[in-house]
Structure 1
């Protein structure tokens, strides 16, 4: 019976609020200033869904979030159900050091002397993020929960933040006669329960279905998330990624739009960030702007 509070008790706690300095809400930073202002960062106990079409930059954005949270003192746990840890590591190094990803295949031959001199510093700063990578295929939410609990004991005093790549690859506990809709419903509910149980943020990537491609305006909407119904209900924040360059190869616009399509604690709209698709690096856009949807 520990989940019970009487209204008198709760009101007594805020009785002095108008005269007290408010302690700043500690939330994991997204590393993008404008996005932090709009969503308040990744809040404890909340599930954020990050969805886009393939090759739009989902994994790069997720790794950017993971690095920033790690440097801010969180413990990022990356459950990569799609990509092996070697690839994740090389992407982290490329985006942190500003190396072209193609060169990462053979650093000895392809990196310039300057880049080689910088190598140790890049690895040193990445070490400080304490990112933990689990790259087993078909992990279930129960396994993730067990691994999170184990790491919380290993790193006492550090709050975990979970990154899962991606939703429909999570192994469901039950088969439901092959009905993926019911499986995804169960998984999205379990993610929310896990976020509340550990009181930590959970960020999960999701694929979009092909209906986006057939529209004139290709910016994603909530109904484009695969098996979407339960996902859009259970998530606290839903972010979509969109790049003009993905559809129009001749455009000079290198920016990546982060569309905030659901936000329990604030406005919805979109934010532009600078994205380098060769290195995977993400930076604040020069004119920081947030446009309401």
Structure 2
């Protein structure tokens, strides 16, 4: 079975995935694949590498296909499709088990109740979301007499925004929406820096802008450099700025930001990359940033229906936030309808294909700058309009925005850095 080969080959080349799998060796169809997975899991649990060398010491190596077969398995590896392979293997196992049960039921004359119970047991084989009400109540029993600590999320570096939202919470999706060139990417970069400086692991999926451009913006906003100077640093920077350069580079490096700039990435690919980063930086909580929502490639085309595509993506983002128990912050474009109104501050219906996004997001923040529409004004205020806050109040937070450097400055006068 090709899916089993791809699964084992991926485990062989990407050992960290063995720690996450819920598949059991007996759920594979081929006997030698069952034995190989069992050996792989045993090696992984002992903290040993799983590779051609360690597998070559297996006592039944020739029965497992020998070194040539193990090398063949490695050629099927694709870490970004691991969930797809696991699902295919699991579904094939369920189908085999179902047929076995029905065959036995006919041969042994089972009652219909026993047949239904046995089939249900197969479908529940991968359920890991069970919680007993007794356990939950036992944990809550002392709650009325125990001061509850407010759950502080990932700080934003903006005092009033933190007060309103209590930071970005684990398992929640935040949508930051605005018209093009309003400052979305600079806000995202500000938030990613803050998360990194607070010890989290910011992971940016930049579906439109290359990683070098993101890095330029990181440096410019941190060092207060005009972005035009980043085009030719040798000529652009003053002697004083060149003296600051090593400090600024070090400060940006401290964020530990990870950037993936492939175009048209799917949620499945993002999950695979996030999982790899989580294993590469043990102990660090990921914070996922996506620029931007409608550039994510859906798993299905839905006959070209943008509404159904965005619905799938929106629900997948929520599932990813819950799976990694981390905040997911995605940028989104607004449609042109906002331009037709006298008051151009955005509302929910301005989000492209807004229905599912409005429903699935825990926090929705619109960006608005008066200077965007009135070039004559010297007002550098950027409004962060909290239009939806599932766990708190809505309202407007104001910051200063330098469109030349990309720097976000708290309205209280605090610098981002």
Separation in structure 1 between the aligned mates of residue 133 and residue 183 of structure 2, nearest angstrom: 46
Q: How does 1:33-182 map to 2 (within 5 A)?
A: 33-182=159-308
Separation in structure 1 between the aligned mates of residue 264 and residue 312 of structure 2, nearest angstrom: 15
Larger RCO of the pair (alpha carbons < 8 Å, separation 6+): 1
Separation in structure 1 between the aligned mates of residue 215 and residue 158 of structure 2, nearest angstrom: 21
Separation in structure 1 between the aligned mates of residue 236 and residue 279 of structure 2, nearest angstrom: 41
Q: Which has the higher strand share?
A: 1
Separation in structure 2 between the aligned mates of residue 86 and residue 207 of structure 1, nearest angstrom: 22
Deviation at 1:283, TM superposition (A): 1.2
Q: How does 1:124-273 map to 2 (within 5 A)?
A: 124-273=250-399
Q: Could you say which residue in structure 2 is the equivalent of 1:283?
A: 409
Structure 1: runs of 5 or more not aligned: 289-293
**Higher-Rg member (1/2):** 2
Deviation at 1:175, TM superposition (A): 1.0
Separation in structure 1 between the aligned mates of residue 305 and residue 247 of structure 2, nearest angstrom: 49
Separation in structure 2 between the aligned mates of residue 205 and residue 28 of structure 1, nearest angstrom: 17
Deviation at 1:253, TM superposition (A): 1.2
Separation in structure 1 between the aligned mates of residue 398 and residue 150 of structure 2, nearest angstrom: 26
2:157 counterpart SS class: coil
Which of residues 130, 135, 149 in structure 2 aligns to 1:4?
130
Separation in structure 1 between the aligned mates of residue 299 and residue 132 of structure 2, nearest angstrom: 36
2:180 counterpart SS class: coil
1:181 counterpart SS class: helix
**Runs of 4+ in structure 1 displaced over 4 angstroms?**
none
Q: Could you say which residue in structure 2 is the equivalent of 1:291?
A: none
Separation in structure 2 between the aligned mates of residue 177 and residue 168 of structure 1, nearest angstrom: 16
Quote the RMSD (CA, aligned, Å): 1.3
1:238 counterpart SS class: strand
Deviation at 1:21, TM superposition (A): 4.5
Please list the CA deviations of residues 172-206 of structure 1 after superposition, one character each: whole Å capped at 9, or x if unmatched: 11111111111111000000000001100000000
User: Does the 8 Å contact 2:370/2:379 carry over to 1?
Assistant: yes
Separation in structure 1 between the aligned mates of residue 396 and residue 184 of structure 2, nearest angstrom: 16
Q: Which has the higher helix share?
A: 2
Higher mean C-alpha displacement, 92-101 vs 17-26: 17-26
2:204 counterpart SS class: strand
The total of aligned residue pairs comes to 288
